């Protein structure tokens, strides 16, 4: 009976065979060379060579003051000159880094020639290396080899280009996390859960008694739903434009007693800040992270803005002003009973270049048609929660629309990954429907397998040559 699942078992061994196959190919790769530093003037420039012949090729064109037997071992640097392979004319004075496989960037033998920076020396040295037997490397070919030789998985290899292109420190952090394997860890974990389900299917076939089967079915349904939820979470992260590392600095400001701390608590759904009817309750800054549909906000509750002689409160008000300076988004809270005051107008005037939402609070006390203040107004009651959802919608809208400088994604930052996850989720949904419809286990396994393979495209365990080409041609030469 077990071989009703033979299809799946076959697939696992296919993957293993594929890995071994890739391992064998290692020996078949030729030796490549490329300039790995940017074109133009620089202190130094590097020509990188990778492949079995790397050291042999360099030996033909490198002259050391220590004579012919200069090579003393791997992971050392050697001083000398690059010369023409035939007429022996000096081309550049260099330092060689020699790194023998497997402890190298590509897991192949790597030699790096550290030349004088500048277009001409680099071009001439590269030309010489190619005349001595190397082939010009294609874009991303070094990193592609690191992937094919198993040092990096695909998400890690892809993160290398994200690192190079990172525009902010948070996007760099996102990419570095991916390089360290955070995303692949998560994906592999979900894949393992799928394998667990497949094992469950197997058991279902082994023990066909009704009771066990019904129980197994319920359990499988549970894990399938759980897998689906995890996939959905990954998708939500990617769809909102990403999950951001730091969050949008959102400052809740306004005059004393208008309900700023109440709003903080309402948004957090938690009694975080002290609320009293005494104006000037909040003195210090209160910061809390809040996730609104995948968009993280760093919510900052502040002391109410007013002229005061109280020393502590005065410092608080000063801190409020500082917070406002650094805000990405300002929630200016106004009491509906008093409306927008002169103090509020001063804040609006001073911070008019920021994203501002005017919050007309306490609408449970009085209906009010807010006067036009030139800023979007949201009417709500922090006490009853009325209008809170509208505020959340508005915040999301402002965050996504407004060219706001938001940190890049933590989990899924790549459309390719997102597409594969969406496919996997679709496969899981099909699986759940089939499970409910009591379809035979071998059919069920086909859908599970499809989900597993969709995820495999992300880490590269089930990737096609075609896809690899598309990914790595996006790289620069020499990477
Ligand atoms: N000169 C130079 N600088 C560089 C690179 C390079 O290739 N050459 N890199 C290229 O992007 C980055 C560094 N990344 C690297 C990643 C792995 C290995 C490496 O040799 N890994 C081996 C050995 C590790 C060890 O000694 O513990 C391994 O993983 O087995 C080298 C560089 C940035 N700076
Ligand atoms: N009826 C009504 N009362 C509210 C609402 N929001 C806040 N309050 C009340 O207004 C008072 C002040 O609320 P807080 O949240 O402490 O106001 P605050 O703006 O943080 O005040 P400070 O920290 O002193 O600047 C409290 O008594 C709250 O219960 C609301 O939507 N409706
Ligand atoms: Mg307060």
DSSP run (H or E) holding 251: strand 248-254
**Stretch 254-275: mean pLDDT, rounded?**
96
- 440 φ, ψ (degrees, to nearest 5): -65, 150
Please, which pLDDT band fits residue 209 given cuts at 50, 70 and 90?
A: low
Closest by Cα among 370, 366, 364 to 384: 364
Please, which pLDDT band fits residue 171 given cuts at 50, 70 and 90?
A: low
269 torsion bin: left (phi>0), alpha (psi -120 to 50), beta (else)? left
479 and 143 in contact (C-beta within 8 Å)?
yes
Does the interface ipTM go beyond 0.85?
A: no
Looking at the predicted structure, is the pLDDT value of residue 213 above 70? yes
**Annotated binding-site residue? 132:** no
What is the DSSP secondary-structure string of 101-132? TTSSSSSS-EEEEEEESSHHHHHHHHHHHHHT
Closest by Cα among 285, 258, 286 to 272: 286
**Annotated binding-site residue? 450:** no
Count Cβ atoms below 10 Å from residue 440 Cβ, excluding itself: 12
Count Cβ atoms below 10 Å from residue 239 Cβ, excluding itself: 14
Atom index in ligand 1 nearest the CA of residue 143 equals 11
Domains of the chain and any CATH numbers: 12-153 (3.30.1360.120), 154-459 (3.40.50.300)
Whole-number Å distance, alpha carbon 398 to ligand 2 midpoint, is 25
Q: Which two tokens stand for residue 37?
A: 């530093």
pLDDT above 90 as % of the chain: 62
Count Cβ atoms below 10 Å from residue 303 Cβ, excluding itself: 28
End-to-end CA distance of the chain: 50
**Annotated binding-site residue? 19:** no
> Which residue's CA lies nearest to atom 20 of ligand 1?
104
> Which residue's CA lies nearest to atom 1 of ligand 2?
362
Whole-number Å distance, alpha carbon 287 to ligand 2 midpoint, is 18
Looking at the predicted structure, is the pLDDT value of residue 293 above 50? yes
Q: Which two tokens stand for residue 199?
A: 């094992």
- Residue 395's SS3 state is helix
> Which residue's CA lies nearest to atom 15 of ligand 1?
105
pTM, to two decimals? 0.59
Averaged confidence pLDDT in the chain: 86
- Using CA atoms, how far residue 275 sits from 272, 279, 358, 383, in Å, is 9, 10, 20, 11
387-434: pLDDT as tens digits: 999 999 999 888 777 544 443 444 677 888 989 999 999 999 999 999
């Amino acid at each position: 009976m077990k071989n009703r699942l033979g299809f799946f078992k076959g697939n696992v061994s296919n993957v293993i065979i594929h890995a071994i196959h890739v391992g064998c190919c290692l020996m078949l790769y030729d030796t490549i060379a490329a300039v790995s530093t940017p074109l133009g003037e620089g202190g130094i420039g590097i020509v990188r060579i990778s492949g079995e012949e790397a050291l042999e090729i360099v030996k033909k064109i490198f002259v050391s003051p220590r004579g012919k037997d200069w090579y003393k071992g791997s992971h050392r640097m050697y001083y000398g000159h690059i010369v023409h392979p035939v007429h022996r004319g000096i081309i550049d004075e260099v330092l060689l880094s020699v790194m023998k496989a497997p402890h190298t960037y590509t897991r192949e033998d790597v030699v790096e020639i550290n030349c004088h920076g500048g277009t001409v020396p680099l071009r001439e040295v590269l030309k010489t290396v190619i005349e001595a037997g190397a082939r010009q490397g294609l874009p991303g070919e070094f990193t592609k080899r690191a992937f094919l030789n198993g040092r990096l998985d695909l998400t890690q290899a892809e993160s290398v280009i994200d690192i190079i292109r990172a525009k902010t420190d948070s996007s760099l952090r996102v990419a570095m996390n991916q390089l360290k394997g955070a995303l692949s860890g998560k994906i592999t974990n979900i894949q393992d859960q799928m394998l667990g389900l497949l094992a469950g299917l197997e058991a279902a076939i082994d023990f066909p008694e009704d009771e066990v089967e019904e129980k197994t079915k319920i359990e499988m349904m549970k894990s399938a739903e759980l897998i689906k939820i995890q996939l959905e979470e990954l998708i939500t992260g990617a769809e909102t434009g990403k999950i951001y590392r730091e969050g949008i600095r959102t400052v809740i400001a306004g005059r004393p007693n208008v309900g700023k701390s109440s709003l903080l608590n309402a948004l957090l759904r938690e009694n975080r800040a002290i609320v009293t009817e005494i104006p000037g309750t909040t003195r210090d800054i209160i910061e809390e992270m809040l996730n609104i549909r995948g968009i993280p906000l760093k919510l900052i509750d502040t002391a109410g803005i007013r002229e005061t002689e109280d020393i502590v409160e005065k410092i608080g008000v000063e801190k409020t002003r500082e917070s406002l300076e650094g805000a990405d988004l300002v929630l200016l809270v106004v009491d509906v009973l008093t409306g927008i005051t002169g103090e509020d107008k001063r804040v609006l005037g001073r911070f008019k270049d920021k994203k501002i939402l005017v919050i007309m609070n306490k609408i449970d006390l009085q209906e009010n048609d807010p006067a036009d203040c030139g800023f979007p107004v949201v009417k709500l009651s922090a006490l009853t929660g009325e209008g809170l959802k509208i505020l959340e919608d508005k915040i999301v809208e402002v965050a996504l629309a407004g060219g706001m400088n938001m940190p890049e994604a933590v989990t899924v930052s790549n459309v390719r990954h997102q597409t594969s996850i969406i496919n996997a989720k679709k496969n899981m949904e099909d699986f759940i429907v089939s499970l409910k419809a009591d379809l035979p286990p071998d059919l069920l396994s086909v859908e599970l397998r499809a989900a597993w393979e969709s995820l495999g495209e992300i880490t590269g365990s089930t990737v096609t040559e075609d896809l690899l080409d598309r990914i790595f041609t996006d790289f620069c030469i020499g990477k």
